[in-house]
Amino acid sequence: MVILRVRGVTFRYGSVEALRDVTLEVREGEVVSIIGPNGAGKTTLLKCILNLLKPAGGVILIEPHGNVAKMWGVERAKLIAYTPQVEAPAAPFTVLEFVLLGRKPYVGRTYSREDLRVAEEILEELGLRDLALRRVSELSGGEWRKALIARALTQKPKVLLLDEPTNHLDLKHQVSVLELIKKLSRTKKVATLMAMHDVNLAIRYSDKIIALKKGRITYCGHPNNITANLIKELYEVNAEVIKDSNGVPVIIPKTA
Ligand SMILES: Nc1ncnc2c1ncn2[C@@H]1O[C@H](COP(=O)(O)OP(=O)(O)OP(=O)(O)O)[C@@H](O)[C@H]1O
Ligand SMILES: [Mg+2]
């Protein structure tokens, strides 16, 4: 079932056209990666879906709720969660307090037992339980990234938008965060769309890859069909594509 539909979206920053006629869809439980060079429009697209930026044309729908531009902020916040590309830890919070912020669309004046239960369950799932009372300013980069994801999941969204979720993580945490995202997308039936710089990780953990260049989609399809030509077209880098023992493509950039 399709949850997120983006149809013909165009966006401009003044005279800079950042997105041109972008159309895509993400289904329930699916993980879709957007790849593409710096400045391609990946973050802009995520911000348009969030309605932080208003497209000049096109429409963004969350099924069966409708057009995100016409929703109240609280309704949108219940449906869409987002982790930004960079966000410094907010100083005074403990991990638990920070993750509870994800319940904001649901709470009255104070958090209920149910809010606390949801937050604690997600901390447990992300292996953050022992850090619940630690200040977020005292977390490692990987732990902080997981806390951001925990806050997003505590929102119980239908759509999860992640801007470079593996940024600043070591290899172990890159893999564990992506495995977690994939598992949680499946079990919680969330439609996940993430901007990714590491093409090999995107291939390995995504159901579908969307390539953006200069604000336009140049490829949309199965990760196994990524070719050296596409890598050249996107990044202006010559690459070799080999298959690993499971038949998954591995991109190896060639040096001159
Ligand atoms: N606030 C802004 N004002 C003007 N132009 C902007 C603004 N934000 C982004 N741009 C421009 O819009 C285009 C798309 O930027 P965007 O941040 O969406 O790219 P990106 O694909 O996320 O890049 P990166 O991989 O570097 O994060 C770029 O040309 C960028 O310079
Ligand atoms: Mg970006």
**pLDDT tens track for 14-27:** 999 999 999 999 99
Instruction: Give the residue-averaged pLDDT of 223-234.
Output: 95
pLDDT band at 256 (very low <50, low <70, confident <90, very high): low
216 C-alpha to ligand 2 centroid (Å): 15
CA of 209 to the centre of ligand 1 (A): 20
Q: Cα(40) to centroid of ligand 2, in Å?
A: 8
What secondary structure, in 3-state letters, does 203-244 show?
A: HHHCCEEEEEECCEEEEEECHHHCCHHHHHHHHCCCEEEEEC
Query: Is 135's pLDDT higher than 70?
Result: yes
Where do we find the tokens 């400045």?
39
Residue of minimum CA distance from atom 3 in ligand 1 = 13
Provide mean pLDDT across the span 226-239: 95
Average pLDDT over residues 212-217: 98
Q: What would the two tokens of residue 235 be?
A: 């990044």
Judge if pTM exceeds 0.85.
yes
C-beta of residue 66 within 8 angstroms of C-beta of residue 222: no
Q: What is the pLDDT of residue 9?
A: 98
Tally the domains of the chain. Answer: 1
Stretch among 54-58, 176-180, 235-239 having the lowest mean pLDDT? 176-180
State which residues form the domain around 204.
Answer: 2-89+158-253
DSSP 109: S
Structural domain includes residue 151: no
- Is 130 contained in some domain? no
141-154 vs 113-125: helix axis angle to the nearest 10?
Answer: 140
CB atoms under 10 Å from CB of 84, counted, come to 15
Give me the percent of the chain exceeding a pLDDT of 90.
70
Helix 141-154 vs helix 171-187: crossing angle, to nearest 10: 10
Residue 75 in domain: yes
The whole-number pLDDT of residue 125 equals 83
**CATH code for the domain in which residue 56 is found:** 3.40.50.300
Atom of ligand 1 nearest to the CA of 45: 18
Q: Which of 17, 34, 43, 45 to mutate to test the pocket of ligand 1 (most atoms within 8 A of CB)?
A: 43
pLDDT at residue 198 in the model: 95
Given a cut of 90, whether residue 85 has pLDDT beyond it is no
Least confident of 95-104, 124-133, 143-152, 168-177: 168-177
Residue 147 inside a domain? The answer is no
Ligand 1 shell residues, CB under 6 Å:
13, 16, 18, 36, 38-44, 85
Spatial contact of 218 and 40, defined as CB atoms under 8 Å apart: no
* pLDDT per position as a tens digit, 67-83: 999 999 999 999 999 99
Is 173 part of a structural domain of the chain? Answer: yes
Q: Is the pLDDT of residue 107 over 80?
A: no
At position 216, the amino acid (one-letter code) is R
